[in-house]
Amino acid sequence: LGVCRRRRYCDARQLWRQIRLWHPWVIMLKAGWFEYRWRQTGEQQFIRLADETWRQLRMKG
């Protein structure tokens, strides 16, 4: 694993735990980016993608 530079990430279980911890934040970042692009462009596809991404986050929570 390339992420094994730091000792705490060498164990695959610990790595997956870290991924699970960060996943909601990544989803929120993605939704925010879609909303930002919608504000910039006014293109409806971005707000639809943002809505779908927020929905995914609520379903996992």
Are 34 and 46 in contact by the 8 Å Cβ rule? The answer is: yes
Count of the separate structural domains present in the chain: 1
Indicate if the alpha-carbon torsion angle 42, 44, 45, 51 is positive or negative: positive
Residue 61 lies in a domain: yes
Degrees (nearest 5) of the Cα angle 10, 16, 17? 100
Taking the model in full, what pTM does it have? 0.73
12-44 pLDDT, tens digit each: 888 899 899 999 999 999 999 999 999 999 999
Residue 8 lies in a domain: no
Mean pLDDT of 2-16: 69
Tokens 């980016």 locate to: 33
Q: Which domain holds residue 30?
A: 23-61
Query: In this structure, which amino acid lies at residue 61?
Result: G
Report which DSSP code applies to 25: H
